[in-house]
């Protein structure tokens, strides 16, 4: 069973409906035992980093999530679900993350400009943008590099290990928009809101063997 982690925040219904669309029987759950037993795990997220970490901790979900990841089962983080994987975030102060991937989460500078047009890039970064693949991975199988995905965020991850980056996006600067280390996969964009190409990515994740 694929479990979608419910910790009181996140676009759970959209993710669940997208998985149903690609023929996947997924379950939204806040039950630690179900999460512990999941064959695959999806961690979506919207909102503030510290609030999400607090909710995961209060509901007793941090240890089950980390156990699934360390057990080698496929994991997909979406948006804030990507950022929570890292050591720390500077959103509204410095806050500790799950520490599954080394690195930090930082805010876009306010003075970003598009190098081609010279126009200001507003923060948050919101709307459609391209993702260029850094290396081959089953998560992107059948998807062309440079495809458009939907973004909504003001912060981005800076991995310590460049090899963890599998996708980058340009928004006044190049930033990491997708990461993978073995069974751990995560994307800064929202595949559930990215139409056909996003559904293709979710279908790829469903097909990845544990």
- For 103, the domain range is 2-207
Cα-to-chain-centroid distance, residue 138? 16
Express each pLDDT in 102-117 by its tens digit. 999 999 999 999 888 8
pTM of the model: 0.96
CATH number at residue 126: 3.40.50.880
The question of whether 52 is a catalytic residue gets the answer no
Express each pLDDT in 45-79 by its tens digit. 888 999 999 999 999 999 999 999 999 999 999 99
| 101 bridge partner residues | 86
Q: How many domains does the chain have?
A: 1
Nearest to residue 181, comparing CAs of 102, 66, 120, 95?
102
The question of whether 132 is a catalytic residue gets the answer no
Express each pLDDT in 121-155 by its tens digit. 999 999 999 999 999 999 999 999 999 999 999 99
Query: Which residue among the candidates 24, 79, 121, 153 is catalytic per the annotation?
Result: 79
Q: Is 86 exposed, middle or buried (0-12, 13-18, 19+ CB in 10 A)?
A: buried
Query: Which residue among the candidates 95, 125, 153, 190 is catalytic per the annotation?
Result: 190
Please give the mean pLDDT across all residues of the chain: 95
Express each pLDDT in 169-200 by its tens digit. 999 999 999 999 999 999 999 999 999 999 99
The DSSP output letter for 109 is P
The question of whether 79 is a catalytic residue gets the answer yes
């Amino acid at each position: 069973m694929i479990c979608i982690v419910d910790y009181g925040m996140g676009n759970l219904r959209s993710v669940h409906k997208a998985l149903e669309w690609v023929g996947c029987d997924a379950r939204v759950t806040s039950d630690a035992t179900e999460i512990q037993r999941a064959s695959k795990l999806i961690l979506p997220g919207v909102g503030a980093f510290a609030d999400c970490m607090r909710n995961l901790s209060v509901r007793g979900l941090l240890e089950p999530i980390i156990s699934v990841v360390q057990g080698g089962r496929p994991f997909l983080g979406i948006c804030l679900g990507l950022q929570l994987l890292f050591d720390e975030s500077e959103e509204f102060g410095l806050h500790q993350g799950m520490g599954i991937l080394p690195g930090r989460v930082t805010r876009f500078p306010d003075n970003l400009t598009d190098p081609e047009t010279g126009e200001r890039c507003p923060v948050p970064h919101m709307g459609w943008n391209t993702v260029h693949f850094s290396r081959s991975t089953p998560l992107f199988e059948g998807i062309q590099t440079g495809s458009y995905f939907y973004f909504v965020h003001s912060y981005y991850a800076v991995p310590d290990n460049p090899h963890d980056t599998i996708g980058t996006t340009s928004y006044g600067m190049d930033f990491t928009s997708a990461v993978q280390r073995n069974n751990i996969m995560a994307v800064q964009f929202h595949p559930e809101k990215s139409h056909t190409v996003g559904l293709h990515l979710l279908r790829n994740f469903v097909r990845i063997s544990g």
